[in-house]
Every structure is written in C-alpha cells, then in structure tokens.
Chains A and B, each alone.
Chain A
Amino acid sequence: DAKTTQPNSMESNEEEPVHLPCNHSTISGTDYIHWYRQLPSQGPEYVIHGLTSNVNNRMASLAIAEDRKSSTLILHRATLRDAAVYYCILSNAGGTSYGKLTFGQGTILTVHP
C-alpha cells in the first residue's frame, strides 16, 4: 500500500484557516486520497476524499497537487470542535485492496481559543 507522510502535530487559533499537509509520493493512478478525523473517544469520521480535482464540501476543502504527490486539507475557519487527529489515507478500490484504509499516525490538531 502506498504510504502517506503527515506532520505529527499542528496548532491553530479559533476562527483561522488551517492547512493540513500530506505527502504521498508513491501514489498510484487509481488511489483515492481520503481524509478522516478522530475526536477523543470516538470513531473516525469521514471528512473528504478526492482523486485528481480539488474537492469542497460542507466540512472542508481538499487541494490536490497537479502531480498528485501531495495534498492539503483546508479547514476554512477552525473551531474548538475541530480539535482532533486528522488522517490522510490512500485507498484503492480496485484489485485486491478492496478500498481498505491503512491508517498512519495522523496529525494532532490543537485549536486555541
């Protein structure tokens, strides 16, 4: 499985934008880029995913580099409820991987009031 690299931790102030980077230099052409977050004592929560084009939803935006070797999750206005561990994951729906998610250590996001 292709791996991702994320910073161990990041900090932000409330109501400011947050850009969470992810490197995935060995991504294959059929790998989707997924982002999930996990709040304390809860299961992971889907944030966003994309293949090639930038994506927006009500939670966040996903900016994907043209060569697809990196991506950035953008939280437009951080709130205290956004404090969580954010996981960037590559998932391939085809072949023998059946879209399995391989979790790394993720980025611990701290949001200051």
Chain B
Amino acid sequence: NAGVTQTPKFRVLKTGQSMTLLCAQDMNHEYMYWYRQDPGMGLRLIHYSVGEGTTAKGEVPDGYNVSRLKKQNFLLGLESAAPSQTSVYFCASRGTGRNYGYTFGSGTRLTVV
C-alpha cells in the first residue's frame, strides 16, 4: 500500500548515543517533514524538505540533523541523544496542487535513558 514508512518503530537509547530514523515514501511527494510529539501535546516541526537535496529548520531543530539524498527518503539523525529527546517522532509527506493532504507515518517511539 502507498504511504509513509518509518523505521524503527521503537528504540531505547542511552544518553550520548547516536541514531538515525528513516522515513520512506512511495508517493513521489516533493515535500517531507519530521515532527515530534510529547505526551499530551500537539506535534512540533523539527526539520522539513521541499525537494531532493534540500532541507530546512523547523520550530525545534536543535540536537537534530536531517538529509534528503533521495526524493523518497528523509533521514533524521540524533548525534548525541539527550533525555529531552524522548518523544514520539512522526514523518510526513505531501504532494502539491489537488494532492495537498499530508500523509503521516505511524511514528517512532524513542526513549533516551
């Protein structure tokens, strides 16, 4: 089925460890986004990309890096994980024109201890 796939679904990290979250979409969407959601709160934008090879900072970019080497993939990296980065991470993509709705992945639940 077409959609957005996030891997892994769950992960526990120790403080200071690094990891990469992968987001893949098969809808040929230009725009991709990474959000985080803390308990009881709405989603906050971390980084986004408007096309292959481009990235930009969102609302809460500190402590994260991203890359968009291929149109279908958007990677979110944590170089040195901190407990404050414990959250659920959602990736999303969207098309343009009539196909304007966002499609979200099912999320990655990350715990930093």
Contacts and interface: CB of A to CB of B under 8 A. Distances in A.
- Give chain B's interface secondary structure class: strand
B102 A98 contact: no
A93 B100 contact: yes
Interface string A38-62: 0000111110010000000000000
A45 B105 CA distance: 9
Which range holds the interface residue count of chain A? 20 to 34
Contacts of A49: 100-101
A112 interface: no
B50 A98 contact: yes
Interface of A: 32, 34, 36, 42-46, 49, 87, 93, 98-106
Interface of B: 31, 33, 35, 41-45, 48, 50, 56, 58-59, 90, 92, 94, 96, 100-107
